[in-house]
Amino acid sequence: MVDADQTFVIVGGGLAGAKAAETLRAEGFTGRVILICDERDHPYERPPLSKGLLLGKEERDRVFVHEPSWYARHDVELHLGQTVDAIDRAARTVRFGDDGTLVHYDKLLLATGAEPRRLDIPGTHLAGVHHLRRLAHAERLRGVLAALGRDNGHIVIAGAGWIGLEVAAAARTYGAEVTVVEPEPTPLHGVLGPELGNVFAELHREHGVRFHFGARLTEIVGQDGMVLAARTDDGEEHPAHDVLAAIGAAPRVALAEAAGLELADRSLGGGIAVDERLRTSDPHIHAAGDVASFPHGLFDRRLRVEHWANALNGGPAAARAMLGREVAYDRVPYFFSDQYDLGMEYSGWAPPGTYDEVVIRGDAAKREFIAFWVREGRLLAGMNVNVWDVTETIQTLIRSGARVDQERLADPRVPLESLVP
């Protein structure tokens, strides 16, 4: 039974943590809610960092989950710029801040997120080497891209994933020269496979981006503390004034690991292992967002999802579970991207090796289509490109697990809704 004497502590001030705090109050929890954030900014959403905010199309104030006064109005104790350095599971306390403040918890939510993977090569200390994860990163990078555009400067991007491609699109919009270095044969290879990766390669080539596939950066060359070039393992050297490391993110599990919580295997993406209620191996501790690895019945495996929708939905689900509500977290993974005049939404999970074929509905050459990843006649994932208001139907088809007539699936004249059993 939850009552006013209880204290719920949330570690992590991203979208998952902020939405969890909001949900606790919306569900009627009257106890103490403490939200500890290691950033000095109020909790904010990350998609604008590589999209609207980076392009200068979205105001800074628009990225925050709540207006600053919301926390005081809802009696949420917000600690900004404070790092939690220890969890004592036996005493049920967390220690945080420079003065080692101890606070007791009845329930604890870990929403510590992920951090950018670092390039382990010479030259990363130079001033022109960037990552994109935090608001301060985006604001700095926006100024860099604008300056590169004015001066005909060149940025080398390590990694052709979503962040790498979105920054490439922003850089070209500003007028900067762009080279993307990627070890796989196509962009987004690990997510979309080669069939759809080429769609994004051609999109960016049309806008002047140069790709160097099958290679990795081995050194960033500089002079007087500034970047001059980036070298790859096949002997190439690319001139550069700046370098962006966009080689993925790693779940921030150090706090959980030190506390002895069970972690998911790295082959499954790592993270903190939770059950369908987002509960860790300690029943008093939950985890949500980028850091949580949860069992997904639809795909018969653990998933760790690093996308906005997972934080948006996972934080509230964890909050309800902490309150003792019945929760079974099994959302279909969803994300979106905007690059130049291409907008897309992706639902499901179908990395290379998990599907038999890709079915295209529409005109891929005109970049107005839906792609479906199919295994044994069943839909694993769907991506709509410049086709809208179909996400709900795609997710329903995925959830149904039913075999789909692939000729009808590929035919735009057949209403997609008619394929739902």
pLDDT per residue over 132-173, tens digit each? 999 999 999 999 999 999 999 999 999 999 999 999 999 999
Q: How far apart are CA 351 and CA 344, in angstroms?
A: 17
pTM (predicted TM-score):
0.95
Instruction: Assign 323 to helix, strand or coil.
Output: coil
Residue 87 lies in a domain: yes
Domain boundary among 220, 247, 274: 247
Are residue 136 and residue 216 in the same domain, yes or no?
yes
**Number of domains forming the structure of the chain:** 3
Q: Are residues 363 and 281 in the same domain?
A: no
Rounded alpha-carbon distances, angstroms, from residue 152 to 175, 228, 241: 7, 14, 10
CATH of the domain at 366: 3.30.390.30
Domain check: are 140 and 240 in the same one?
Answer: yes
Select the more confidently predicted residue: 194 or 50. Answer: 50
pLDDT over 70 percentage in the chain: 99
Is 260 in the same domain as 243? no
Domain endpoint, select from 224, 247, 270: 247
The domain of 314 spans 7-115+250-322
Summarize the confidence of residues 235-241 as an average pLDDT.
97
In a domain, 283, yes or no: yes
For residues 101 and 97, what is the distance between their CA atoms, to the nearest angstrom? Answer: 6
24 shares its domain with 101: yes
pLDDT above 50 (res 83): yes
Whether 260 and 234 share a structural domain: no
Which of 247, 279, 308 is the last residue before a domain boundary? 247
Q: Are residues 235 and 144 part of one domain?
A: yes
Closest CA to 110 of 258, 282, 292, 270: 292
Q: Are 82 and 38 within 8 A, CB to CB?
A: yes
CB atoms within 10 A of CB 341: 10
* 3-class DSSP string for 77-99: EEECCCCEEEEECCCCEEEECCC
What is the structure's pLDDT at 2? Answer: 55
Mean pLDDT of the region 95-104: 94
